[in-house]
Amino acid sequence: SKTFSQPGDLWRHKKTHSGGKLYECKQCRKTFSFSSKLQTHERTHSGEKPYECKQCSKAFSVSSSLRTHERIHSGEKPYECKQCSKAFSVSSSLRIHERIHSGEKPYECKQCRKTFSCSSKLQTHERTHSGEKPYECKQCSKAFSVSSSLRIHERIHSGEKPYECKQCSKAFSVSSSLQIHERIHSGEKPYECKQCKKTFRLSSCLRTHERTHSGEKPYECKQCRKTFTRSYHLRIHERTHSGEKPYECQHCRKTFSRYSTLWKHKRTHSGEKPYECKQCRKAFSCSSYLWSHERTHSGEKPYECKQCRKTFTRSYHLRIHERTHSGEKPYECQHCRKTFSCYSNLWGHKKTHSGEKPYECKQCRKTFSRSSHLQTHERTHSGEKPYECKQCNKTFSQSSHLRTHKRTHSGENV
């Protein structure tokens, strides 16, 4: 009883009942019910993309794909979820999203019975069984199991970053990276830990955090059997065995095992300190230093040793402290075989062999083997005393001097 305004529309509709497919592709013999669908299909062979975006000149083989793409520029999201009001630029994305509320996962893997909310996720998953990687980069021949991964990879070669933040104009090669970045401005943290109610900007950060409750460390080093909560931490750890330092400073040719360490090191050359404490205006070269510093104001020490209940402002300091209980000293000097509980101590020790003192005071040109020693020395020029006793308000230039002073209040033997 379906009705149509044009006889041609009725004729085409009837073919959906009869199964008639009158239009055949001459190259692959695939058949279609409509000539327009055949024409669209033939473009997969010819590579023709007649529909071009007026803003960025990106071309598409189908007009509907162009219309969807144009919403990236306009920000239009006409499809809204009735349950949570989240909006989407594509109707199919809304349908997939609605399954989060309903819990529906209609697509099942025949090999492992895992279910998925959309067919594309099932197809991608099936490649984990088959090992198939049908999408290959024409420039470097790297292959991918998902076409979207190839498109993102190709931007490494082209330098294209089509997704721009409207607030700060920072651009990204992947839309998901833009979405995550936007949460820095909005403060949104949609992922909540069910045990302690702590919230996170990224689902991956929540999963990693949950392991602090469960104690799960699924990533194991094949050489020493040490386990880690994150695959990234395992990769970095493996470099302590291999000695690999793939990241090199272009200024001084110093190499690093982590890109983040190189990035922080570069600021020792530029003097850049973009992270500022709102309470005392002290500036830092990396965000983690600022967070640790802010705890000197708040007194917060969220990391607790399970054996002696001592608390710390940084998780790294807790890990080093735990080695005083276990006796673990995983870092060994290749010159004299002396071992250390933390890498920074090994790194400082190595300079006793080389005599290297790369940190120079700009005021008096005195040099130091460690950046922390330079920072302490610089306070003799500036007169800065950032460590304050909460009982008598006396200030000190070094944290060790403050600790010694505190014992005069507690009566503990100095």
Kindly give, in sequence order, each residue whose CB lies less than 8 Å from that of residue 155, ignoring residues fewer than 6 positions away: 161, 173
**All structural domains of the chain:** 23-76 (3.30.160.60), 253-410 (3.30.160.60)
The pLDDT confidence band at residue 321, using thresholds 50, 70 and 90, is very high
Q: In angstroms, how far is the first alpha carbon of the chain from the final one?
A: 95
- Per-residue model confidence (pLDDT) at position 40: 86
Coil, strand or helix at 171:
strand
Mind listing the pLDDT tens digit for each residue in 117-146?
888 889 888 988 898 898 899 989 889 888
Q: Tokens 């602090």 appear where?
A: 212
Neighbours of 346 (CB within 10 A): 19
- Per-residue model confidence (pLDDT) at position 159: 87
Q: Tokens 């094949």 appear where?
A: 222
Residue 325 has pLDDT above 90, yes or no: yes
Q: Is 409 exposed, middle or buried (0-12, 13-18, 19+ CB in 10 A)?
A: exposed
- Mean pLDDT check: name the lowest of 54-63, 155-164, 286-295, 298-307: 286-295
Mind listing the pLDDT tens digit for each residue in 180-217?
899 888 888 888 999 898 898 888 888 888 888 888 88
Residue 280 has pLDDT above 60, yes or no: yes
Enter the DSSP assignment of 258. Answer: -
323/327 Cα distance (integer angstroms):
5
Q: What is the mean pLDDT of residues 250-263?
A: 86
Residue 257 has pLDDT above 90, yes or no: no
Coil, strand or helix at 317:
helix
Q: Average per-residue pLDDT in the chain?
A: 86
Q: Which tokens in the block code for residue 198?
A: 């702590």
Q: Which of 214, 213, 193, 211 is nearest to 202 (CA)?
A: 193
Q: Which tokens in the block code for residue 180?
A: 């995550």
- Per-residue model confidence (pLDDT) at position 92: 86
Radius of gyration for the alpha carbons in the chain, expressed in angstroms and rounded: 30
122/127 Cα distance (integer angstroms):
9
